Chains A and B, each alone.
Chain A
């Protein structure tokens, strides 16, 4: 019945829905009351102060933003720059140390997370744009895959000071995230920015994905405790910081 209620007032209900209404007082009551809801707004006056003068005084031609998919790819440029910089400075020891299957799973999950952040940001920057992907469940799956693969396959023990390496990875993760965040802000500045908090938080997610991508690429330490205690800790700090920043700029 709820599906038919979505169309209340638009057209006659199908026979099966009408039959249901004759039998069910709860649905009938609701259906009858929803009919005249469009009249609600007609109680007020349809008068306005007119066009704000600033608009007509400030008329300049503007170029429309690129299509959504192009915009989403543009927003991934900071991630690519950060990755290139990370490999150039610190190498790709992590990539080389991992088995092929692990590599596909981990980098697949990170790339999906980054792509989702880019997609979300492009949707956020174009008001009223269509959203076909449920981002949160997809992002949750990517996170679970990453955590699961690390927990299952990263069991190597090392005779080195993991604490200092973890600290180094943590700080590098924050540096990469900060760089990505600033580049992301720069690229996204031409968007709509209607909800600043949401935009800042999505850029934070993009920065967190970027940090994890760089750390997973360069760090050859295949130890779950190290990854959770430094790589994912850096990601958590970045997400928390962007969330707080979102509250501030709202």
Chain B
């Protein structure tokens, strides 16, 4: 089997799953070359994963290292024949959540601010300055669970089924969260009405 180089692994993962599954199986059998190739292939995937999450951007490299270690410790929980990436993302998600909890424990907020007021202020300021708020900014005003689902669907390009696996939920629950996020984003994007609503406008 050909090994993945670091450069190759940065390319889109359309053809990667079968390769990753083979590497994962060999990794479970303690094949050193397969372990190296697998880790090289997963590193850019994980960096992209953590960069996509607002609370993971600053420490993406540390989180990747921690995730690789946890992957190693939990490698026996990968079932041959199952997709590798949801398994990897699921581990990465827990690393990110732990990191987030740790941050929350250490960071003390000196001033309590109503999130709704903060949100309205930020959107209003940005709208005035640029005409409309940045989408990345808007995402920060979604509840954590909705933001996570939408990021996986839209930024990382996962399917609903994959997101359900990663977030330990059902596909129905994922769709519900995504649809609630769409509704919320529509509301956030909507500008104050300058005139009568256009005929035929519907949500």
Contacts and interface: CB of A to CB of B under 8 A. Distances in A.
B48 A29 contact: no
Given A30-B182, A30-B189, A129-B165, A51 B74 contact: no
Interface in B22-74: 28-30, 32, 35-36, 39-40, 43-44, 46-48, 51-52, 57, 60-61, 64-65, 68-70, 72, 74
B74 A127 contact: yes
A6 interface: yes
A127 B154 CA distance: 22
A130 B164 contact: yes
Contacts of B32: 56, 59
Contact of B186 (A26, A60, A65): A26
Contacts of B186: 26-27, 29-30
Nearest to A127: B90
Interface of A is mostly: loop
Contacts of A132: 170
A62 interface: yes
A133 to B, nearest CB: 8
A47 B64 CA distance: 10
B202 A62 contact: no
Contacts of B80: 64
Contacts of B170: 131-134
Given A33-B135, A194-B91, A51 B36 contact: yes
Interface string B81-104: 011001111110010010001000
B72 A55 contact: yes
Interface in B111-164: 135-136, 153-157, 160-161, 164
Interface of A: 1-2, 5-6, 8-10, 20, 23-27, 29-30, 33-34, 37-38, 40-41, 43-44, 46-52, 54-56, 58-65, 67-68, 123-134, 190-192, 194-195, 250
**Top 8 nearest A-B pairs by Cβ distance?**
A128-B86, A128-B87, A127-B90, A128-B90, A62-B76, A194-B94, A2-B179, A44-B51
